[in-house]
Amino acid sequence: MFSYELYKWVHIAGILMVFLAFGGAIFKDTTPAVTPDSSRRVLSILHGVGLLLVLVAGFGMLARLGLTSEIPGWIWAKLGIWLVLGAWIALSLRKKLPRSVLIAGAIGLGVAAAALALWK
């Protein structure tokens, strides 16, 4: 339906949205000019739409590569990371972990997902 390149750009846009939401959630309490309820809603929407774009575009790229009949192990690992990233926003918004752990965890998950995609 769409080209591989378009799926890749949509995938990257979704990744940027997810990590922008993490940054906003982690540092939400340092911006007093924004009301907590409105920023929480915006960050949650940004995160959710970003995750949806990552998932849809990721499967679109798989279809373009012809990997729909048998899903390789690295895709299962990326889906696991996707699930953890889905829950990570709740930890970030609720400040259940120290800020340094939230930042390191988000970066680590992003690097792991990128490594899986690059080195398959």
One-letter-per-residue 3-state SS of the chain? CCCHHHHHHHHHHHHHHHHHHHHHHHCHHHCCCCCHHHHHHHHHHHHHHHHHHHHHHHHHHHHHHCCCCCCCHHHHHHHHHHHHHHHHHHHHHHCCCCHHHHHHHHHHHHHHHHHHHHHC
pLDDT in tens, 2-52: 999 999 999 999 999 999 999 988 887 766 665 666 788 899 999 999 999
pLDDT value for 36: 61
pLDDT value for 27: 84
pLDDT value for 11: 97
pLDDT value for 6: 96
> CA nearest 88: which of 46, 26, 37?
26
pLDDT in tens, 94-116: 888 899 999 999 999 999 999 99
> CA nearest 81: which of 111, 52, 118?
111
List the alpha helices (DSSP H) in 27-72. 36-65
Distance (Å, whole) CA 43 – CA 17: 9
pLDDT in tens, 48-66: 999 999 999 999 999 998 8
Q: Are 61 and 8 in contact (CB under 8 A)?
A: yes
